[in-house]
Amino acid sequence: EDPEEIFPEQTELEDFKLIAKIGEGAFSKVFRAIPEPHAANSFLYRSFHHVAVKVISKHDLNSSHKDSKSKATSKEQVLKEVAIHRNVSASENVVAFVDFHESEHYYFIVQELLAGGEIFGEIVRLTYFSEDLSRHVIRQLALAVKHMHALGIVHRDIKPENLLFEPVEFEPSPTPVLRKSDDPKTKQDEGVFKPGIGGGGIGVVKLADFGLSKQIYSTNTKTPCGTVGYTAPEVVKDERYSMKVDMWGIGCVLYTVLCGFPPFYDEKVDILTEKISKGEFTFLRPWWDEISDGAKNAVKKLLEVNPAKRYDIDEFLADPWLNQYDCTKHLGL
Ligand code: ADP
Ligand code: MG
């Protein structure tokens, strides 16, 4: 990290000093930044030592859509992301929205900084999570989804890259949780043995990235958005089940944190698509041998191909495995 580094994006942003790039997406760069004391809206930022600024380049966004019609849509896309993010921000488990700026070449979405970064990075670091740590993470994800679904909004991009966390200083369970399948002797010699730990490191978990989110139901009328009377049956059906895509996403994340690899994978996209459409996944040996039936049951109820039978958010929040005991006690929070 070079404090004197000047980012080109900085020249069009007055209120925040960009410090370092901390993330990247298809059309965005995310920076850790500090609010400038002279900023016009500084009263909004005073409680933030650091923020995360998601910078979307208009050029990159536009060159992905050739015709001018979709140029308008790409601006609308950003405004929609901002509107939805604003709308869902008031939850402990959703990354807080702070402010939005547009300049000549960029859009800037200012957010609360989650210093731990992506849950994805913790999976890489630990290989997989203990059941307690998995529960700690997934329960907070479920609370974020509960909040969004209650507002009639579906996230549609739930994955470990979009789950961020605040680190905790202490590691309450320094003893690694070993599973039979880990055979520390051989694996340590190979230098790849990184045991899942009991629950340290990860504090508050928050859901980020509303770039694909969609308002499905109006909260006032409890009806699907759009003109109901003229909607085709397959659309009505799709709308009814659209919340369930997030439940599938939670299932994929739960599976992945428990064992360290995703439920569906193939190098060939068409084969992968086929596996997903059939809901073909297995509790692969030996990695799943030590994992409880309760955890496996929760995964099955989430990765159910038929959306009508798949857990909804309230059913998942009542799942016995998710409620086995209060994991926040375990973390000393
Ligand atoms: P995209 O829509 O391009 O995927 P995201 O909003 O997901 O953009 O941000 C990209 C990455 O930047 C995230 O995966 C994460 O690593 C990082 N990031 C985004 N927002 C924050 C934040 N508030 N705090 C910390 N890191 C963040
Ligand atoms: Mg993302």
At 8-35, the pLDDT tens digits run 999 999 999 999 999 998 889 999 999 9
Residue 42 and residue 35 in contact, taking contact as beta carbons nearer than 8 Å = yes
CA 73-159-28 angle, 5° bins:
40
- Which residue out of 22, 165, 213 has the highest number of ligand 1 atoms within 8 Å of its CB and is therefore the one to mutate? 22
pLDDT recorded at residue 219? 67
Q: Are strands 97-102 and 28-35 parallel, antiparallel or unpaired?
A: unpaired
pLDDT recorded at residue 188? 38
Burial class (CB in 10 A: 0-12, 13-18, 19+), 67: exposed
132 counts as catalytic: no
Residue 16 and residue 36 in contact, taking contact as beta carbons nearer than 8 Å = yes
- Judged by DSSP in three states, 326 sits in coil
Average confidence (pLDDT) over 275-288: 97
pLDDT per residue as tens digits for the range 108-120: 999 999 999 999 9
Residue nearest to atom 12 of ligand 1 (CA): 23
- Whole-number average pLDDT of the chain: 87
Instruction: Find the 121 Cα to ligand 1 centroid distance in Å.
Output: 13
Q: Are strands 153-154 and 28-35 parallel, antiparallel or unpaired?
A: unpaired
Out of 2, 60, 157, 183, which one is annotated catalytic? 157
> For the whole model, what pTM was predicted?
0.87
Residue 111 and residue 54 in contact, taking contact as beta carbons nearer than 8 Å = yes
Average confidence (pLDDT) over 156-179: 78
Instruction: Find the 328 Cα to ligand 2 centroid distance in Å.
Output: 27
Report yes or no for ipTM above 0.85: yes
pLDDT recorded at residue 218? 73
- pLDDT exceeds 80 at position 192: no
Residue 178 CA to residue 182 CA, distance in Å, equals 7
pLDDT per residue as tens digits for the range 62-89: 877 655 555 556 899 999 999 999 999 9
Instruction: Find the 151 Cα to ligand 1 centroid distance in Å.
Output: 23
For the chain, how many helices (H) and strands (E)? Answer: 12, 10
